[in-house]
Amino acid sequence: MAPTVPSPAKSASPSQPSGKSEVTDLKQQLRQLAGSRAPDADDQRRDVFKRVISCMTAGIDVSAAFGEMVLCSATSDVVLKKMCYLYVGVHARNHPDLALLTINFLQRDCRDQDPTIRGLALRSLCSLRVPNLVEYLVAPLATGLKDPSAYVRMIAAVGAAKLYHIAATSCLDAELPAALKALMLSDPDAQVSFHSTNNDEIVLQLSSTHYLCIYLNCLICNCRIKEFSEWAQCLVLELASKFLPSDNNEIFDIMNLLEDRLQHANGAVVLATIKVFLHLTMSMTDVHQQVYERIKAPLLTLVGAGSPEQSYSVLCHLHLLVMRAPMLFSSDYKRFYCQFSDPSYVKKLKLEMLTAIANESNTYEIVTELCEYAGNVDVPIARESIRAVGKIALQQYDVNAIVDRLLQFLEMDRDYVTAETLVLVKDLLRKYPQWSHDCIAVVGNISSKNIQEPKGKAALIWMLGEYSQDMHDAPYILESLVENWEEEHSPEVRLHLLTAVMKCFFKRPPETQMALGATLAAGLSDTHQDVHDRALFYYRLLQYDPAVAERVVNPPKQAVSVFADTQSSEIKDRIFDEFNSLSVVYQKPSYMFTDKEHRGPFEYSEDLSNLTVGAETSEKVISAQRYQENDNDLLLSTSDKEDIGTAASNGSASTYNAPSDLIGPSLLSSQTPSETSLINPGGPTYSSQSNFSLDDLLGLGVPEAPAAPPAPALTLNSKPVLDPGTFQKKWGQLALSLSQECSLSPQGAASLMNPQSLIRHMQSNYIQCIASGGQPPNYKFFFYAQKDGATAFFLVECIVNTASAKAQVKIKADDGTAAEAFSALFQSALSNFGLS
Amino acid sequence: MISQFFVLSQRGDHIVFRDYRGEVPKGSAEIFFRKVKFWNDDEAEEAPPVFNVDGVNYIHVKVAGLFFVVTTMVNVSPSLLLELLQRIARVTKDYLGVLNEDSLRKNFILVYELLDEVIDFGYPQTTSTEVLKSYIFNEPIMVDAGRLPPLGPAAMFMQGTKRMPGTAVTKSVVATEPGGKKREEIFVDIIERISVTFSSSGYILTSEIDGTIQMKSYLTGNPEIRLALNEDLSIGRTGSSTFDYRSSSGGGAVILDDCNFHESVQLDSFDIDRTLHLIPPDGEFAVMNYRITQEFKPPFHVTALIEEAGPSRAEVLLKIRADFSANVTANTIIVQMPVPSYTMRASFELEAGAIGQTTDFKEGSRRLEWSLKKIVGGSEHTLRAKLTFSQESHGNLTKEAGPVNMNFTIPMYNTSKLQVRYLQIAKKSKAYNPYRWVRYVTQANSYVARL
């Protein structure tokens, strides 16, 4: 009676799907099997299902078989059911109409006697992700949360989060969060309890219970954490790290309870625990340092145990800690030596750590080790090692031995080693000019023909120019380089050559004059814009006054004391706050690589984000207001909605009215340069417009440039436009330019009954408010302003205390040089408040 | 949390693909594969285990030549995901007995079943082989372990000791033996990976042991187990690395710098009698990981020389001495030595009567390779090689060649002298006497001799 099935053995292996025609074939087979009651029908179905799923895995679209799959799903075979659920879960979202077909059998399975089936069905039901089927979900979920089986309750708890994800309101309407809370507090099964707490979306939604939840979590984790699975432990510890107990005893209690977690074999648990420890002790410097000492050994053990991937992640965190407190790791330097089997991404981290922890006591060993790597067959690592030696030299006081080592590299006679070393020697000389004699002697022997890499060549040329009085051959080497101008393809090298010849000319004019002429001629006819411009600039400068030219090209140089760090300390702090996250691996704070919506609800929040910002939706304002109601300690909260409305409309108005502004009042403030010089008669006596551009060309770092004009009185753009997102980003990225306290007039302090009055006052001074908050006597404002005619913004955080009539002002500026002027302007505006 | 999980073959085929949250755009597996294959082509660098492409974070581990990958949009803990991936691989291996592309392809439905329970809505649920047992309904389809190339710790015991049934560790935790009866047995492996760097004059510059006590239990009814370690074992006094070299005679106690334990381990009496109590869960797991920087006697002494022999020629001498007792045999030894980049040819001269030794000059990577099938304790082996250069060597040859790196496995040998004094299984009846296998092995992690 069973229809004969075309042999499933037709396809050789179930996991090797052949193609598109297969889908039609599978469809047919499923249809034939649908009603089959043959004793081996289930086995045949399993075979066909397997092939369907194998096609699905390979990326073949098998959604055409949806109907047939559902028809075949009426079975008591669990394996078949699971495959069917898997299929349905993948395809439901793209075929909402067909998904309706499955609701029936899933709902029926949700009432099955077997808890496993109930759980499976409930999970699949919640995973459909079809918004218009939500109504069928609520009832089974509510029942599931009260199921006698812990397995089903757990699935229901996760299911509630899924529901919240697709339809928050129906989740809340069904009062599921309340049921979850009950589970969280009282469920005998730790896993269930955990998954109820872990619904961070829901927990956050109930913002009134937000802090309560975290607090509870800590209580739970203190007595129950060991019952949780290791994964749950990680997530609970992550929650616990957001919680700061009020008194130190509590901190120590938590730390003592969690102490043994540091001995866990699972690195994720250890790192989560370390995060808790580090955050708890932030304000206690000595304990914080003890924590570092304590966590060192477990971290090093984790680096050694486990797969290379696991140790990489631990090593990244170790790297972060080493960079923060290199002193504490200085005796462990041998642990950071590169091993033969280390992949290059690990070696790079280790080299950076070795560089950071080098101090008086271990420099010799570390540099010796690094020199070994310099001859490494792995060229990128060899390069990094040489750079590391140079960096160590730059951070040490006694560089005697290191300079010798560096100079030895030059004798190795390998292209890349020489190039890297030259760059380092150049930097070294900028910091320690006293070494010039030793270095010059060696560098002078290097033939520029042997150096291919532009960076190395440029460094050599720089030294030739800078020390041409000490290097006997300098003019002639430069001359030969100029002769080969055409063969030099790197504009960087050509630029350096121009400058070096100029420098040399002023030091040894008779020997260089020829070369200078040739260089300028070559430069002027160069196709590269920068090279051409610089040559032209030098040419005109020489024409104008050779004495000025000498001051421009050969100013007395001061040794560089500190080379700028590539990362601001603020960014480093942000990364540290995001300990045990991807930020540490990428060495970037999360805002640089994740969208806002994905940063996670428990993202470290700086105070700015607690403020309502103009563009936020009213929905969020409400939740933020709840924050305020429930947490009076929070200094900052929202200004009222009305204000945001006006701020927003102001913003848009200024955008739309932009054209009329051009002929409006802003014309006054946007003066042309000539007008500026009229206003500032004390300024430099530039004779023509072209001098201005020359000055620009010089750009950076010519301290001897004819006395810089006194900063023209700063004028602000009357209608600057800055959206809150950009503000927040800028605030995170920029370094603090100025921070000071200033005072308000007593009248002003008295009249500051609400933030609006000050906001309006500042607006009349062209300083706009982007966010504000607070209650008497403390107010907090974020202001911004824009330099007229420029794109540079000034950002201000201003905390006003009306009782003391004082204000704390922090200014960040795109253009740091103007911060001072802006600060004066801001202060005068602030002190005028209430006087008019 | 986790958006997707997938397993890719070496050629980039999807073996398993599961989407948990539907937020990552299509084609992520292809993007991942392309990125890993062509990470930094000109510098031949390996892709790091964690990277971000267009806002999607890709986290992967390589196991048995397969890529186990998760994607996420959220800024999560990388360690959590890497540990999880490793654990998923291990659980899969527990079920399939052998983890490789073939076994995974045959059992992909079972893997889906496991994944369903391991991760829900992107949150890890459980990775306990034991807990999972009650939710897994597929029977594993066994692949023939005999044909498998030796991979990982399971394989290294096969050659070394004859008393060991070779297939023991490639047995699934759920599959029943052909006889219908399960063999009661437990394996305890003490695996030590050693890192040693010798200076050019033969001194030890750095040395470290990363050890792990691995357990795999096939005991029914989960009886309690007591595992006793050296009585004089001491732990800690961290942060004083100068202190570690105090007892350089090596005859004394075993001092661990630090260690960590599996969560099932009870440490109540560990401080008193160095005994670990545990109820081993099913499947394979690390009971304890430890790290030792105390000085130890390295198993091999390596000497390497390179000398100029004429204008564009050089001679290389490699010598290995096995400093362990004659009843222990090391196997699969490979010695590699990078030579100057302008080397054209190399001719080798093995010692008289050498058996099971091969030599090779890898032109692409410019290195000499010398492999030995086995080395018996106490013996010494040498290799001479003559190099011909394409140009005259300039300056210092020792700076252009080396360092020498050595790879080996020594079964039934442990460097640290950490011992399992006894392995006690608490059990009901007298007749119950399961097989207990305690095995030691030492592997080279980074064994380097500088020129």
B52 contacts on A by Cβ (under 8 Å): 582, 586, 593
A79 contacts on B by Cβ (under 8 Å): 109, 113, 137-138
- pLDDT value at B448 more than 90: yes
Alpha carbon B285 to chain centroid, angstroms: 14
The letter for the amino acid at A323 is: M
Looking at residue A682, its pLDDT comes to 41
Looking at residue B298, its pLDDT comes to 93
Mean pLDDT across the stretch A735-762?
77
- Residue of A54, A585, A600 with shortest CB distance to B74: A600
Mean pLDDT of chain A: 75
For chain A, say whether B53 makes contact (Cβ under 8 Å). Answer: no
- pLDDT value at B383 more than 90: yes
Contact indicator for B298, B446 with CB cutoff of 8 Å: no
In chain B, positions 299-328, which contact chain A (CB-CB < 8 Å)?
none
> Measured in Å, how far apart are chain B's first and last C-alpha atoms?
49
The CA angle A219-A243-A626, to the nearest 5 degrees, is 105
Most confident range (mean pLDDT) of A593-607, A722-736, B308-322 is: B308-322
Whether the CA torsion A755, A757, A758, A759 is positive or negative: it is positive
B394 contacts on A by Cβ (under 8 Å): 413
Q: What is the spatial distance between Cα A684 and Cα A707, in angstroms, rounded to a whole number?
A: 7
List CB contacts of B433: < 8 A, sequence separation 6 or more: none
Cα-based distances in Å from B46 to A29, A347, A457, B133, B217: 46, 12, 30, 37, 36
Alpha carbon A151 to chain centroid, angstroms: 39
CB contact under 8 A, B83 and A599: no
For chain A, say whether B46 makes contact (Cβ under 8 Å). Answer: yes
CB contact under 8 A, B78 and A313: yes
CB contact under 8 A, B366 and A590: no
- Residue of A16, A305, A334 with shortest CB distance to B206: A334
- pLDDT value at B294 more than 90: no
Looking at residue A692, its pLDDT comes to 37
A368 compared with B40, residue with greater pLDDT: A368
Residue found by looking up tokens 């201003």 in the block: A798
Whether the CA torsion A24, A29, A31, A32 is positive or negative: it is positive
pLDDT digits over A770-828, tens only?
877 777 777 788 888 888 777 788 888 888 887 777 888 888 888 777 788 888 888 88
pLDDT digits over A361-414, tens only?
888 889 889 888 887 777 888 888 988 988 888 877 667 778 888 888 887 777
Looking at residue A198, its pLDDT comes to 55
Looking at residue B153, its pLDDT comes to 45
For chain A, say whether B244 makes contact (Cβ under 8 Å). Answer: no
Mean pLDDT across the stretch A97-106?
81
Residue B395 pLDDT grade (very low, low, confident, very high; cuts 50, 70, 90): low
Looking at residue A482, its pLDDT comes to 87
CB-CB neighbours of A755 under 10 Å: 21
B236 contacts on A by Cβ (under 8 Å): 297
Looking at residue A17, its pLDDT comes to 46
Find which of B11, B16, B46, B79 to mutate to test the A interface (most A CBs within 10 Å of its CB): B79
Q: Is the peptide bond before A555 cis (omega within 30 degrees of 0)?
A: no
pLDDT digits over A265-301, tens only?
999 999 999 998 998 888 888 899 889 988 999 999 9
CB contact under 8 A, A339 and B134: no
For chain A, say whether B35 makes contact (Cβ under 8 Å). Answer: no
A337 by Cβ neighbours in 10 Å (0-12 / 13-18 / 19+) ranks as buried
Contact indicator for B310, B360 with CB cutoff of 8 Å: no
Residue found by looking up tokens 């005697």 in the block: A400
Looking at residue B148, its pLDDT comes to 44
CB contact under 8 A, B108 and A15: yes
Q: What is the spatial distance between Cα A502 and Cα A93, in angstroms, rounded to a whole number?
A: 70
For chain B, say whether A300 makes contact (Cβ under 8 Å). Answer: yes
ipTM associated with this complex = 0.88
**B305 phi, psi to nearest 5 deg:** -135, 145
**A574 phi, psi to nearest 5 deg:** -60, -45
Q: Which of A512-516, A548-552, A655-659 has the lowest mean pLDDT?
A: A655-659
Mean pLDDT across the stretch A623-641?
35
Min Cα–Cα distance to chain B from A241, Å: 13
- Residue of A93, A263, A304 with shortest CB distance to B22: A93
pLDDT digits over A452-486, tens only?
888 888 998 998 888 888 888 888 888 888 888 88
CB-CB neighbours of A710 under 10 Å: 10
Residue A759 pLDDT grade (very low, low, confident, very high; cuts 50, 70, 90): confident
Q: What is the spatial distance between Cα A629 and Cα A625, in angstroms, rounded to a whole number?
A: 6
Looking at residue A597, its pLDDT comes to 61
Q: What SS3 string covers A151-164?
A: HHHHHHHHHHHHHH
Looking at residue B211, its pLDDT comes to 92
In chain B, positions 158-187, which contact chain A (CB-CB < 8 Å)?
none
A33 compared with A304, residue with greater pLDDT: A304
pLDDT digits over A494-538, tens only?
999 999 999 999 888 888 888 899 999 999 988 899 999 999 999
Which residue spans within A67-130 are E strands per DSSP? none
Looking at residue A496, its pLDDT comes to 92
- pLDDT value at B239 more than 60: no
Contact indicator for B197, B446 with CB cutoff of 8 Å: yes
B84 contacts on A by Cβ (under 8 Å): 231, 268
Q: Which of A140-144, A239-243, A739-743 has the lowest mean pLDDT?
A: A239-243
A-chain residue closest to B290, CA distance: A301
| CA-atom Rg of chain B in angstroms | 25
- pLDDT value at A835 more than 80: no
The helix (run of H) or strand (run of E) holding residue B380 is strand B380-389
In chain A, positions 565-604, which contact chain B (CB-CB < 8 Å)?
578, 580-586, 590, 593-595, 598-600, 603
Looking at residue A583, its pLDDT comes to 92
Using DSSP's 3-state secondary structure scheme, residue A745 falls into: coil
A317 contacts on B by Cβ (under 8 Å): 79
pLDDT digits over A307-364, tens only?
889 989 999 999 999 988 888 888 889 889 998 888 888 998 999 999 989 888 888 8
Residue B320 pLDDT grade (very low, low, confident, very high; cuts 50, 70, 90): very high
In chain B, positions 96-115, which contact chain A (CB-CB < 8 Å)?
105-106, 108-109, 112-113
Min Cα–Cα distance to chain B from A267, Å: 6
Most confident range (mean pLDDT) of A744-748, A787-791, B421-425, B428-432 is: B421-425
Residue found by looking up tokens 């994740």 in the block: A594
Q: What is the spatial distance between Cα A277 and Cα A579, in angstroms, rounded to a whole number?
A: 11
Mean pLDDT across the stretch B367-377?
92
Please give the share of chain B, as a percent, with pLDDT higher than 70: 87
Query: What does the DSSP 8-state code read for residue B241?
Result: T
B-chain residue closest to A156, CA distance: B120
Phi-psi region of B291 (alpha: psi -120 to 50; beta: other; left: phi over 0): beta
Pick from A87, A67, A90, A68: nearest CA to A79 = A87
Q: Which of B29-33, B155-159, B368-372, B385-389 has the lowest mean pLDDT?
A: B155-159
Q: Are strands B185-198 and B123-124 parallel, antiparallel or unpaired?
A: unpaired
pLDDT digits over B246-287, tens only?
444 445 678 888 999 998 898 888 888 899 999 988 888 899
Helices (H), A632-777: 641-656, 658-663, 666-669, 673-679, 689-698, 724-733, 746-751, 755-764
Q: What is the spatial distance between Cα B241 and Cα B229, in angstroms, rounded to a whole number?
A: 24
List CB contacts of A102: < 8 A, sequence separation 6 or more: A70, A73, A88, A92, A128
Mean pLDDT across the stretch A746-774?
78
Cα-based distances in Å from A299 to A244, A305, A586, B212: 24, 10, 19, 15
The helix (run of H) or strand (run of E) holding residue B343 is strand B343-350
Query: What does the DSSP 8-state code read for residue A256?
Result: H
For chain A, say whether B388 makes contact (Cβ under 8 Å). Answer: no
Q: Is the peptide bond before B403 cis (omega within 30 degrees of 0)?
A: yes
In chain A, positions 93-152, which contact chain B (CB-CB < 8 Å)?
93, 116, 120, 123, 127, 129
List CB contacts of A454: < 8 A, sequence separation 6 or more: A490, A492, A493
Looking at residue B177, its pLDDT comes to 55
